[in-house]
Structure 1
Amino acid sequence: MFRLENAQSLLGLGLILVVCWALSEDRSRFPWRLALGAVAVQVMLVLGLFGLPGARSVVRGINAGVDGLAAATAQGTQFVFGYMAGGAQPYAVTDEGALFVFAFQVLPLILVISALSALLWHWKILKWITQGFGFVFQKTMGLGGASALAVAVNIFLGMIESPIVIRAYLDKLTRSEVFLMIVVGLATVAGSTMVAYATILREVLPNAAAHVLVASIVSAPAGVLLARIMVPEKKGQGGYFADYGSLLKYDSSIDAISKGTMDGLTVALNISAILIVFVSFVAIGNGLLSAFPDVLGAPLTIERVLGVVFAPLAWLIGVPWAEAPQAGYLLGVKLMLTEFIAFIQLGGVPAEAMTERTRMIMTYALCGFANIGSVGITVTGMGVLMPERRAEIIGMVWKALLAGFLATCMTAAVVGAMPRELFGL
């Protein structure tokens, strides 16, 4: 059933496209066919998982798979850290909630999923899936073979792995294709972090694993569209053919597991360091703001400031105005800090303080690497792979950050425009 809340999301979708068009390098060339195709692909992907007969069984399977991975990871973590990781407690437990320790319950998942992803890539399973998505993107959105493959890889691996996969073609990519690759990398998340996000939300959002997986997949077409709007491809350029070979190779299964584990360790350590630093900075900022007088009867905090700034955007993607300040704060945290902190904050919002529909919409809006910290990662990683184009990358990365951030908001708006009954709400 179509409701006013769905029209609200459609308004947000339209305004996002208008903003990107206003910032376009060539406003005379709006890709109408791509816009219709990208939104159609998003809708079909969401309907395919949540609306088709048997979809509920697939959703249950995804959630069961994530629960199984979390349980298996818990056994390995408890073997190393014992009762600190949730194993048998040597003392009487008076607060079960205190047993959840982020470093032991969430971060180890990144190690396991990273190693598993590398193993599946070596066995060519993940490579076949990626190439399948690349073929779909190539045919439905007119991407060149190299760009289509990079977009597909971003869904499952990450924004630095994708240029490695097509490294042989990086010097042949046009400015528009490089921009597209950066935007999609910022608009999606890696498979290793998907499971971590689902674990954080599984107690507060039904079918959290399915929503997180779909969020990363359907944000790829959104990233492609907004990238093409802001930096259009010049006629007769781009579309370089790729033979779908890859420089991302492992010598054996053991080599894949070992290197995947080390890559996961790097990610986990980086996340740990970023969380410590940024949470501390927020506390410092709130301490400084406490010197100012109260505003509207409450102390001035970073959370309140971000809530005010981003509340209109939260409303536009489909969040009720009563919940928009809280949702706007989460959008601000995602952009200014990291999506990991935003997901932790979302998972900590009491059930009575946020409806399931708002929580679902925010899951899609937050599921992407578009944050200020990722700008440095992008410039560093792609600067190493494309040293001759480093200045060009630096010149477009901030625009790419905005496009990547709006791409996840566009995905949230598309989901918000669909009937809530589709998601069992």
Structure 2
Amino acid sequence: MFRLENAQSLVGVALAIGICWALSENRRAFPWKLAIGAVLVQAVLVLALFGLPALRAGLHGVGHAVDGLSASTQAGVAFVFGFLAGTPNQPYAVTDPGALFVFAFRVLPVILVVCALAALLWHWRILRWITQGFGIVFEKTMGLRGPPALATAATVFMGQVEGPIFIRSYLPSLSRSELFMLLAVGMACVSGSTMVAYATILKDVLPNAASHVLTASIISAPAGVLLARILVPRLAEAEVTVELRPEEDKVYESSVDALIKGAGDGLSIVLNVAATLIVFVALVAMVNGILGLLGDVRGAPVSVERLLGIVFAPLAWSLGIRWADAPTAGSLLGVKLVLTEFTAFIRMAAIAPGVIDDRTRVIMTYALCGFANIASVGINVAGYSVLAPERRTEIIGMVWKAMMAGFLATCLTASVVGVMPSELFGREPTPRPAPVLAPTLAPNPAPATRATP
């Protein structure tokens, strides 16, 4: 049933599109057909995936597969690290079972295993067929040319830099609009390996977390394409006609070779994620230490998270989130932008059930599920400098705008999900409290019982 809370999410749809139109390089070239089509595609996909029994059963199957993958990964971690992996058999008395959840042993190893499996599926041509199928869909439904359509589809599964590898030889000939679109879509989506990691983080606080994370990454691609085309409109005369020939950079000699090389690629991702989290969390802790010198305000120290909560609270409300949860949700949006989505997901998982509304948690899962953050700016510049060195200066000039497009794309996706009736996701709507006029500088949400890094 369509309610006021669903209508509220329409504000987020209009806001994301409106901001990009206001900052467009050519406001007169607004792609009306693409705007209507992209939003409709997102809505239809959500309704189909969660409304049709067969597809809903498939999504639940994905959740069971993720649980099985996580359990299997823990078996390998326990073999290497023993009781440090959080196994039930501990050499000491456990007074806080939640403390056994260690990010380095429970989440990062999942990335290794998924990367190895992805390489194996690519060698068996299964993932290649899926990617090419999605590429055809993007080409036919959103008017993309062959090479950008294939790269967009690959980005959904492989990641923001790995996806464009499949059209590496075409990157120098892409138009400025197409190149910007690839940057924006890369920051609007996540990779297959991190999807499983996010689902592992959220599974204790969000029912069927894997289904939501998978859906979020897929439907954020059309949002990224739309907002990119609004900010940097397409110029047909700048597009050079080319014949699509998928790159063969990812070639493996055998299944074992695929597993080994995939694990090696996963290791570089794990080290990058771990290093980024350590550095950015440390920097924010330094800033919080400085802000702490200001003393307590409304019963708690001033912190980066609380300030971000105030700044982004109106945006969070526009997604369809009740005002009581807006400061907390706004803080998560700010953390995602400044500290990466990994940190934001970890902090949302640390919020105990009941502290925020279940609807808020679902919407925020979609809003956080994207690579649009400050760290990704550096990752994209470094990656594209290798893939297309002759366009490095052009990329540096567009990458910050692409980060904004990717950030707003996940907000657009979250708003579309917010428009959907709560019953679609298997929950009853929560009574909404009376709104207040402005967000307060409230303390950070109470920590959950489970310890997080």
Determine which of 261, 270, 295 is the counterpart of 2:297.
Answer: 295
Secondary structure in structure 2 of the residue aligned to 1:291: helix
Give the aligned partner of residue 74 of structure 1. Answer: 74
Quote the Cα distance in structure 2 between the aligned partners of 1:251 and 1:409: 38
Secondary structure in structure 1 of the residue aligned to 2:218: helix
Give the aligned partner of residue 51 of structure 1. Answer: 51
- Contact 2:34/2:226, CA 8 A, preserved across alignment: yes
How far residue 48 of structure 1 moved from its aligned partner, in angstroms, is 1.8
Structure 1 residue 112 and structure 2 residue 149: aligned?
no
Secondary structure in structure 2 of the residue aligned to 1:369: coil
How far residue 284 of structure 1 moved from its aligned partner, in angstroms, is 1.4
Trace 1:198-347 onto structure 2 (pairs within 5 A): 198-238=199-239, 240-252=241-253, 253-347=255-349
- Contact 1:147/1:239, CA 8 A, preserved across alignment: no
- Contact 1:49/1:55, CA 8 A, preserved across alignment: yes
Structure 1 residue 387 and structure 2 residue 389: aligned?
yes
Trace 1:67-146 onto structure 2 (pairs within 5 A): 67-87=67-87, 88-146=89-147
Quote the Cα distance in structure 1 between the aligned partners of 2:57 and 2:242: 38
- Contact 1:48/1:55, CA 8 A, preserved across alignment: yes
How far residue 239 of structure 1 moved from its aligned partner, in angstroms, is 7.2
How far residue 244 of structure 1 moved from its aligned partner, in angstroms, is 4.5
- Could you say if the C-alpha distance between residues 34 and 294 of structure 1 is closer, same or farther in structure 2, counting changes exceeding 3 Å? same
How far residue 270 of structure 1 moved from its aligned partner, in angstroms, is 1.2
Q: CA RMSD in A?
A: 1.2
- Contact 1:115/1:259, CA 8 A, preserved across alignment: yes
Letter paired with 2:421: P
How far residue 241 of structure 1 moved from its aligned partner, in angstroms, is 4.5
- TM-score w.r.t. structure 2 length? 0.92
How far residue 242 of structure 1 moved from its aligned partner, in angstroms, is 4.5
How far residue 96 of structure 1 moved from its aligned partner, in angstroms, is 1.3
Structure 1 residue 38 and structure 2 residue 38: aligned?
yes
Secondary structure in structure 1 of the residue aligned to 2:79: helix
- Unpaired runs of 5+ in structure 2? 428-453
- Contact 2:173/2:240, CA 8 A, preserved across alignment: no
Secondary structure in structure 2 of the residue aligned to 1:247: coil
Secondary structure in structure 2 of the residue aligned to 1:236: helix
Give the aligned partner of residue 360 of structure 1. Answer: 362
- Could you say if the C-alpha distance between residues 221 and 86 of structure 1 is closer, same or farther in structure 2, counting changes exceeding 3 Å? same
How far residue 193 of structure 1 moved from its aligned partner, in angstroms, is 0.5
Per-residue CA distance 1:246-296 (angstroms, 9 max, x = gap): 233223222221221111111111111122222222221111111114333
Per-residue CA distance 1:332-357 (angstroms, 9 max, x = gap): 00001100000000111111111111
Which stretch shows the higher mean deviation, 177-186 or 290-299? 290-299
Quote the Cα distance in structure 2 between the aligned partners of 1:77 and 1:268: 14
Per-residue CA distance 1:131-182 (angstroms, 9 max, x = gap): 1111011000000000100110010001111121101211110000000000
- Could you say if the C-alpha distance between residues 244 and 346 of structure 1 is closer, same or farther in structure 2, counting changes exceeding 3 Å? farther
- TM-score w.r.t. structure 1 length? 0.98
- Unpaired runs of 5+ in structure 1? none
Percent identity reads: 63
Quote the Cα distance in structure 2 between the aligned partners of 1:75 and 1:296: 46
Structure 1 residue 18 and structure 2 residue 33: aligned?
no
- Could you say if the C-alpha distance between residues 41 and 242 of structure 1 is closer, same or farther in structure 2, counting changes exceeding 3 Å? farther
How far residue 240 of structure 1 moved from its aligned partner, in angstroms, is 4.3
- Contact 1:157/1:191, CA 8 A, preserved across alignment: yes
How far residue 98 of structure 1 moved from its aligned partner, in angstroms, is 1.4
Letter paired with 1:374: S
Quote the Cα distance in structure 2 between the aligned partners of 1:402 and 1:411: 14
- Could you say if the C-alpha distance between residues 79 and 330 of structure 1 is closer, same or farther in structure 2, counting changes exceeding 3 Å? same
Quote the Cα distance in structure 2 between the aligned partners of 1:52 and 1:141: 24
Quote the Cα distance in structure 2 between the aligned partners of 1:39 and 1:241: 29
Quote the Cα distance in structure 1 between the aligned partners of 2:418 and 2:243: 36
Quote the Cα distance in structure 2 between the aligned partners of 1:313 and 1:152: 28
Which stretch shows the higher mean deviation, 39-48 or 211-220? 39-48
Per-residue CA distance 1:175-207 (angstroms, 9 max, x = gap): 000000000000000000000000000000011
- Could you say if the C-alpha distance between residues 242 and 75 of structure 1 is closer, same or farther in structure 2, counting changes exceeding 3 Å? farther
How far residue 302 of structure 1 moved from its aligned partner, in angstroms, is 1.0
Give the aligned partner of residue 64 of structure 2. Answer: 64
Quote the Cα distance in structure 2 between the aligned partners of 1:191 and 1:240: 31
How many aligned residue pairs are there?
Answer: 425
